[in-house]
A and B are shown apart, each in its own frame.
Chain A
Amino acid sequence: AAGVIQSPRHLIKEKRETATLKCYPIPRHDTVYWYQQGPGQDPQFLISFYEKMQSDKGSIPDRFSAQQFSDYHSELNMSSLELGDSALYFCASRKQGSDYEQYFGPGTRLTVT
């Protein structure tokens, strides 16, 4: 079965640079969630989208923005990167109206140097 795809899997950036992470949900899933997991921490919710509209917002810095496109893929844009942004970024997808399970992608490991 198709899973959530995230690209790139690894990314190294320098401070003050920008980064774009991409997420391709499972086919027919209409909801996307973004989570950030710092080293040794639990995943923290950043933002979610349903039918291309932002549905909920968590602890996402103002330097970050995200959107969901007409094909339901989502992109997380990160600007003015800081060392503290180094983390594993997960995308999860779900189909509204079905069970509440969120299917996670493999994550993008971002390292800011």
Chain B
Amino acid sequence: AQKVTQAQTEISVVEKEDVTLDCVYETRDTTYYLFWYKQPPSGELVFLIRRNSFDEQNEISGRYSWNFQKSTSSFNFTITASQVVDSAVYFCALLTNNAGNMLTFGGGTRLMVKP
């Protein structure tokens, strides 16, 4: 069975603060893919990143960075110097070949960035 847990249901920060969104996953497969999606109030799902299970290299893209640690089955997402436009629900998701290539989403973390 596969599972994605985002323990933080809601986070509130003040603009320019750094914030980390946690994601813990469970799978018995050795090959899998992890994703982060952003869902702004308008409702669409915006792809942010994909990470393969065999690539533990961390990634930075502008103010966004991701920390993938297989030892703790975590794939955390950090926003540096948050902005009001970062306010959204963020979903972590897992995909494995043996589970039919569908995405299993975590419950999401609602991030509110206040001016």
Contact = CB atoms under 8 A, between A and B. Distances in A.
Interface of A: 31, 33, 35, 41-45, 48, 55-56, 58, 88, 90, 92, 94, 99-104, 106-107, 109
Interface size band for B: 10 to 19
Contacts of A43: 45, 91, 103, 105
B47 A58 contact: no
15 contacts: A41-B107, A42-B106, A43-B45, A43-B91, A43-B105, A48-B101, A58-B102, A88-B43, A100-B95, A101-B47, A102-B95, A104-B44, A106-B44, A107-B43, A107-B44
Interface of B: 33, 35, 37, 43-45, 47, 50, 91, 95, 100-108
The 10 residue pairs across chains A and B that have the minimum distance between CB atoms: A56-B100, A42-B105, A45-B102, A104-B45, A100-B33, A106-B44, A43-B105, A42-B107, A42-B108, A101-B50
Contacts of B37: 104
Given A92-B103, A94-B101, A102-B95, 9 more contacts: A42-B91, A44-B105, A48-B101, A58-B102, A88-B43, A100-B33, A104-B44, A104-B47, A106-B44
Interface of A is mostly: strand
A100 B108 contact: no
B37 to A, nearest CB: 8
A105 B51 CA distance: 21
A74 to B, nearest CB: 14
Contacts, number: 52
A56 B45 contact: no
Contact of B43 (A35, A94, A106): A106
Given A100-B95, A104-B44, A33 B102 contact: yes
A104 B50 CA distance: 14
B41 to A, nearest CB: 12
A43 B45 CA distance: 10
Contacts of B95: 100, 102
B18 to A, nearest CB: 25
Nearest to B9: A40
B50 A99 contact: yes
